[in-house]
A = this chain, B = another copy of it.
Amino acid sequence: MGYELYYWNGLQGRGEFVRLALEEAGADYVDVTRQPERGTSEMLALLKSDSEPHLPFAPPILKDGEILVSHVANILAYLGPKLGLAPRDEAERWFANGLQLTITDFVAEVHDTHHPIATGKYYEDQKPEAKARSAAFISERIPKFLGYFERVLNQNPKGNRHAVGDRLTTVDLSLFQVLEGLAYAFPKAMARVSGQYPALEALQAMVGTRPNIAAYRASPGRLPFNEDGIFRHYPELDVG
């Protein structure tokens, strides 16, 4: 039996980082909440279970037989070696996992651009604060994170085509997703920095055109970015 991925239906969200790894590897998996006969109720039952010994806090959740793994970086650490998307070298694996956690932090900061005060409140109820947080995010955090990842690529002793080592890993796939998401959410801000991160831009193009990723992107499985996800396009949060 294949992998079972549990994530909110109707958005890419954090689940997309897992989907990209599964799709690149051509792995056998089902997106549980998108199955008409299963649906979101099955995921909610898992989250509300009063008997599950390995209770997850939130989606995404991967089920592989009896093993339940939650959190993007944890799922990718689990899947990477099985899908041939992890470095072979031990030191490189710990480095890759650290990069994946830096991406996790970056993604959390993207989320907070539209929800700076309370996750439980609507964006519309925290718009002025979202504007302030987005301005700081664009001016300080995007350069800090993208500058860091650009350095990582350029300091890779095996070449700047990959974040770690000389082959594709989940980190490359996740960086692609972050760059796609930022271009969707902040198109004007990202246009202004076009050309400033050449190694990252080359990586984004390389990942996006890999056969399995290109096929996935052209399929209905790849939902478009939208305003229910992490990367949301609110023009008022972008630069003018």
A-side residues, CB < 8 A to B, are 49-58, 66-71, 73-74, 77-78, 90-92, 94-95, 97-98, 101-102, 104-105, 108, 112, 116-121, 129, 132-133, 136, 140-141, 145, 148, 151-152, 155-157
Contact = CB atoms under 8 A, between A and B. Distances in A.
As for how many copies of this chain the complex holds, the number is 2
Given A49-B155, A50-B155, A112-B112, 18 more contacts: A52-B155, A53-B157, A54-B91, A54-B92, A55-B151, A55-B155, A57-B102, A67-B94, A68-B91, A70-B101, A73-B101, A74-B97, A77-B97, A78-B94, A101-B104, A108-B108, A116-B117, A119-B136
A78 B91 CA distance: 11
A59 to B, nearest CB: 12
6 contacts: A54-B98, A71-B98, A73-B73, A74-B97, A112-B112, A118-B133
A165 to B, nearest CB: 10
A98 B74 contact: yes
Q: Which of A68, A102, A117, A141 has the most CB of B within 10 A?
A: A117
Contacts of A156: 53
Contacts of A104: 101, 104
Contacts of A152: 55
Contacts of A58: 102
A51 B112 contact: no
A68 B95 contact: yes
Contacts of A97: 71, 74, 77
Question: 6 closest Cβ contacts across the A-B interface?
Answer: A118-B136, A71-B101, A54-B95, A70-B98, A57-B102, A69-B94
Contacts of A157: 53
Contacts of A77: 77, 97
A120 to B, nearest CB: 5
Contacts of A108: 105, 108
B155 A98 contact: no
Q: Which of A52, A74, A98, A129 has the most CB of B within 10 A?
A: A98
A53 B155 contact: yes
B55 A74 contact: no
